[in-house]
Each structure stands twice: as C-alpha cells, then as structure tokens.
Amino acid sequence: MTSSTIAFVFPGQGSQKVGMLAAAYARSEAVRATFAEAADALGYDVWALVQHGEQETLNLTATTQPVLLTASVALWRAWREAGGPDPAMMAGHSLGEFSALVCAGSLEFADAVQLVRKRGEFMQTAVPVGEGAMAAIIGLDDDSINKVCAEISAGTAGEVAAVNFNSPGQVVIAGHTAAVAEASHALKAAGAKRALPLPVSAPFHTQLMKPAGEQLAQALAELTLKAPKIPVVHNVHAETETDPERIRSLLVEQIYSPVQWTRCIEHMASAGICKIVECGPGRVLSGLNRRINSELQSYSLEEPLALSQALEELAGQAAGSATDTE
C-alpha cells in the first residue's frame, strides 16, 4: 500500500554516532539481518564498529558512508517488516541519496554499501588533508552568499562556493581552506549571524571533487541500476528520474555539485507531501525540513517507540488515502 501524502528522507554524514540503533537491533530481525549483510559485503563486523568502536573511526568518511547507509536501509526494512506503507516519494541528503535509491529498488544493497565505501575514499583523497574546508553560514540569504563566494573565488585565496542549501538561512560553503576562511569573514561582515567551521577534512560538493566524480563514474559503470519503484528526488536538480542511466549520471554529478535540499523538500510539498519520515539515525533532516516548510509533519524511526507511533498514525492514514495496493 502506498500513501500519496508520505515521503521518506535519508540523512547524510553527520548523523552517525556510536551506539546508534541499539534498541532497534534488539527488537527487529530485519535490522539484524541488514547489518549482517553489510558485514558480508564489507568484510568487517559493522555492528560491532557501530556499538563499540571509537567515534573518530566512525567519523572517517570511508567508514561513515557505508555505516549510515546500512543504518538507514535497516530502518527502512524494519518499517516494511512492521507493515508500514510505502511513501509516494523519497530523497536523501548527499550520501542519503544512495540510501533512498536502495530502498526504492534502484540499487542492490550489497552493491551500494561497497560503492559508498569507495565514494568515501574517493572524496577523502581528491583534495589533500588541510587544503580544503567547509563552514556553515547561518542567517544570510542565498544570493548574498553566492555573491560573496564568487568575489572571493575571483581573488587569490582559491575557490569557495555554496554547496549545501540546507534550509532558508542555513547554507554550507566549501572550498580551499584560505578561501573558506576569507569568505566566512566576509559573510559575517555582510550580515550572517554565524560562520561555523565544520569538522571535515575535504571540501565536499565543490568542483574540487571532480577527480572523485571520475573515479565514482568508473565504479558505477560496473553496477546495475534499475528504475526506482518509488520516485526519488535528486540533490542536483530537485527532480525525479526514471532512466537508470540518467540516475547514474546524477550520482556522479552530485559529488561535485551543490545539494539542493531546500528545493527537494519544496518539490515534495508541491506534489502533495505533508508528512515526512526521517529514515536513519538522529533528526537532523527533520529540523531542516521544519525550517523549509513549517506545515510539514515529521516522524523518525530510529527508536522502536518512534517507529510504532509513526506506524500507528501513518498506516491508518495510508489506508484512507491509498493510491495503490500491492
């Protein structure tokens, strides 16, 4: 059964934490099976890392990406295991787009978990450590941020650009370390409330990531992609696609293109979505989504009680407004 008013969204890097999904793992066979499948694909005990590893290890990009994808897919499978309805749409923030495509049936999980480990490695090595940086700009409009970044990039400090349009008043910039520092200073002078350096060691979603995109394209060429069974709104252009080859291209473009998260959520709302389920650890996206559109209702699935509450409310609504029955 599919509900025309529900969407699922999948978080990206930053939502990982040691001990996540402990209660869900104890409760759900689907969660346990998903982590076991990830361990088989990756060659190490993913669950042990998530529960007993060091946070510093979990934060390494090549580790974070497969771990978060596994956690998100595990919660999606727990939702399905509990009889939850299919959403009308999906989207994922950066890495989360891969989680969405797995859950939509476009990518096989075992392929995807190995792919995003490589993606993390490609992204980390595209720019030497120390040469790239990112910062969150709070309280300034998109046009002003783009203008300042263009002015800084035209100078001698290097390249800097807006790369994550997370919500109105929250935009992430990235680029060469000196350029990000200069832009942060200039943006505060232009009226930004805060310019917060982010604890990352690479300038994700900038043109500096093009070498990583080339490597990802080669890895993707070896995999089979299918048309998604549930439409996925893509980060690059905030639209859905059905052609697997177009999806393949967008996954490559995404690595060096801005994440248009605000537009993705606006696209969903304009299509009639009014309830959004965050399928992954934490509630980062729920906070962003409320700032984008305060009328959207948010749900989470990480804790079994939250899953049960979402199921109780959304399954009943889906039964009353179903658009399809499997």
The residues annotated with a catalytic role in the active site are 94, 205
Residue identified by tokens 């934060």 is 59
Residue 281 — φ and ψ, nearest 5°? -70, 145
What lies within 8 Å, CB to CB, of 265 at 6+ separation is 91, 276, 288, 289, 292, 293, 296
Report the C-alpha gap between 262 and 126 in whole angstroms. Answer: 27
Cβ–Cβ < 8 Å for 101, 76: no
Report the C-alpha gap between 139 and 170 in whole angstroms. Answer: 6
Cβ–Cβ < 8 Å for 205, 259: yes
The alpha helices in the chain, defined as continuous H runs, are 22-27, 29-42, 46-52, 55-58, 61-81, 96-103, 109-126, 142-153, 177-189, 210-221, 244-254, 261-270, 284-292, 304-320
Exposed (0-12), middle (13-18) or buried (19+): which is 316, by Cβ within 10 Å?
Answer: exposed
